[in-house]
A and B are shown apart, each in its own frame.
Chain A
Amino acid sequence: MTFTGALVRLRAMEPRDADAQYRWMNDLEVTEHLGWRYPISSLAIAQRLDGAGAMTFANPRFSVERADTGELIGYTALRDVTPESRNGELDLVIGERSAWGQGFGTDTARTVCAFAFERIGLHRVQLWVVATHAPAIRAYEKAGFVREGVARERFFKRGRYHDAVLMARLAP
């Protein structure tokens, strides 16, 4: 089963996505704005994908494909989803550089929110984004996320501290 937006399609992660994920997660430009900081082995990626088959309420995660070409361009996930407060933390990476700057991130955020609110009934989806990552902040704003606050120097990366912006979207 897939969930389709205007530009992207979300499907379950599969073992065949391993090579692309390995490339993205070891690409310094891709991980520059992420909390991820250590190199990751292809074995670790493979193990993550092996366990990806059975999606549950607690850990929905998807590979992101372009709706037009079917090309794999990223992944997205909801973490720390609790049934009581019905909140989730959004992970979203467009790892394929050729897909940057064309609205795929915005559409992925919209599509995963539609899944979160309509499909599994979440109340709130939130995320932290490093304050210097202006394109991501713009993309999330376009997808309906609201800036709620700034955590000063929350994030250490590339030798210095950065502010982190908390953004969230509530169920309609």
Chain B
Amino acid sequence: MSEIVLRAREPEDAALLTSWFADAETMRWWDRVYPPLPAETLAARIAAAPIMTFADPSFMVCDAGTREPVGWGGLHAPSPEHRHCSLGVLVAPGLRGRGYGEAATRALCRFAFDRMNLVRVSLVVFPGNDAARRVYERVGFVEEGVQRRAFWKRGAWHDLVHMAVFRDTLR
């Protein structure tokens, strides 16, 4: 099992992030329609809001040993009233299958529960993305339903599977 640490993003991470979000295999299972921001624009955005807050935690996932970035993770739309947020995680092309995704998913959930005091984390995943679903299930996510024909991609409709985990069911 690969150990990871979460750190804040730096403007210098922009080129790497942009290359990941332009990767065809990554985008096969990702819910983005348009190409990513140019690296320069992303760098400027990171520089413009350097302090992480409750509203938009976004992390570089790094190998705990080498400290090299191996992925990205974000906690989106946290609700202070309903105490939940959604989660997105990405492992760099070429570094998949080493356990980084599972470690990052778990660390992001722990962060939401232990530091942000939320109680529920949800996510969506495409039905055919079995590797990701297995990871989420191992971490404790439970399927809550299928949003039918929710996504138009490559000329066809796709369903989205919704999953969630609670503070007391995280593994």
Chain A residues with CB under 8 Å of B116's CB are 37
What is the minimal beta-carbon distance from B63 to any residue of chain A, in angstroms? 15
The proximity string for A residues 40-57 relative to B, scoring 1 for CB distances below 8 Å and 0 otherwise, is 111110010000000000
When the two chains form the complex, which single residue of A26, A37, A38, A43 contacts B47, counting CB atoms closer than 8 Å? A43
Chain A residues with CB under 8 Å of B57's CB are 38
Do the beta carbons of A39 and B53 come within 8 Å of each other?
A: no
How many A-B contacts if CB must be within 8 Å?
44
Interface centre among B50, B110, B167 (most CB of A within 10 A): B50
Do the beta carbons of A39 and B8 come within 8 Å of each other?
A: yes
B: number of interface residues (CB 8 Å): 21
In chain B, positions 25-39 with a C-beta closer than 8 Å to chain A are none
Beyond A156-B117, A158-B114, is A26–B7 a contact (Cβ under 8 Å)? yes
CA distance A156 to B52 in the complex (A): 17
B46 within 8 A of A: yes
Do the beta carbons of B50 and A159 come within 8 Å of each other?
A: no
CA distance A42 to B10 in the complex (A): 7
When the two chains form the complex, which single residue of B6, B10, B59, B167 contacts A43, counting CB atoms closer than 8 Å? B10
Chain A residues with CB under 8 Å of B10's CB are 41-43
Do the beta carbons of A43 and B53 come within 8 Å of each other?
A: no
CA distance A67 to B7 in the complex (A): 33
Beyond A156-B117, A157-B115, is A44–B51 a contact (Cβ under 8 Å)? yes
Do the beta carbons of A38 and B53 come within 8 Å of each other?
A: yes
Chain A interface residue bracket vs B: 10 to 19
Do the beta carbons of B8 and A159 come within 8 Å of each other?
A: no
Do the beta carbons of A41 and B9 come within 8 Å of each other?
A: yes
B113 within 8 A of A: yes
Query: Chain A: which residue is nearest B47 at the CB level?
Result: A43
The proximity string for A residues 54-86 relative to B, scoring 1 for CB distances below 8 Å and 0 otherwise, is 000000000000000000000000000000000
Do the beta carbons of B115 and A44 come within 8 Å of each other?
A: no
Do the beta carbons of B8 and A44 come within 8 Å of each other?
A: yes
Do the beta carbons of B7 and A159 come within 8 Å of each other?
A: no
Do the beta carbons of B114 and A159 come within 8 Å of each other?
A: yes
CA distance A71 to B90 in the complex (A): 40
The proximity string for B residues 34-77 relative to A, scoring 1 for CB distances below 8 Å and 0 otherwise, is 00000000000011001111000101000000000000000000
Chain A residues with CB under 8 Å of B50's CB are 41, 43-44, 47
The proximity string for B residues 90-126 relative to A, scoring 1 for CB distances below 8 Å and 0 otherwise, is 0000000000000000000010011111000000000
**20 sample A-B contacts, Cβ–Cβ < 8 Å, listed by A number:** A26-B7, A26-B8, A37-B116, A38-B53, A38-B115, A39-B7, A39-B8, A39-B52, A39-B59, A40-B51, A40-B52, A41-B7, A41-B9, A41-B10, A41-B52, A43-B11, A43-B50, A157-B115, A158-B115, A159-B113
Q: Which residues of B pack against A, CB within 8 Å? A: 6-11, 46-47, 50-53, 57, 59, 110, 113-117, 167
